[in-house]
């Protein structure tokens, strides 16, 4: 699905609203271009429950071998049902299918649910990178695909 598709944008607006509630501002000022999420250099997936978009995430190329996870989100009303893990697995599968060897991500320290999921799914801390690499509370993780 395209990042600029209506269902993806519903999920992204909800994700940014939640991030804004936790961190203030817009929630995430990372420069994002919908073209970065078009195969083979990226992809975006949306999870639906009863026909409604309830989660999603995308990946974009980061260098020649890595994929960067962006905007991972699951609606609070459906958390704890494994939807986030299925979205993450779909993103990993998509990146792997396009030759990416590792998935990297940034997350803020005010997202303990996300950090717990990444740890449970085999992600390890790495040196910070990306837009927020020097921001207080930025944590970066990676997993070999």
Return d(Cα 126, Cα 107) in angstroms, integer.
Answer: 12
Residue 1: pLDDT over 90 = no
Domains and CATH numbers, the chain: 6-105 (3.40.630.30)
Q: How far apart are the first and last CA of the chain?
A: 21
- pTM for the full predicted model: 0.95
Over residues 61-76, the pLDDT tens digits come to 999 999 999 999 999 9
Q: Per residue in 7-21, pLDDT tens?
A: 999 999 999 999 999
């Amino acid at each position: 699905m395209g990042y600029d598709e209506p269902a993806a944008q519903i999920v992204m607006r909800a994700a940014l609203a939640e991030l804004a509630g936790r961190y203030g501002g817009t929630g995430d000022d990372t420069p994002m271009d919908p073209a970065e999420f078009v195969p083979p250099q990226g992809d975006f997936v949306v999870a639906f429950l009863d026909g409604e978009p309830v989660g999603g995430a995308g990946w974009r190329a980061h260098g020649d071998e890595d994929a960067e996870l962006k905007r991972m989100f699951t609606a609070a009303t459906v958390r704890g049902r494994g939807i986030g893990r299925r979205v993450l697995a779909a993103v990993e599968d998509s990146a792997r299918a396009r030759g990416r060897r590792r998935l990297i991500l940034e997350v803020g320290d005010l997202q303990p649910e996300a950090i717990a999921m990444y740890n449970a799914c085999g992600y390890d801390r790495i040196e910070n990178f990306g837009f927020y690499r020097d921001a207080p509370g930025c944590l970066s993780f990676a997993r070999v695909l």
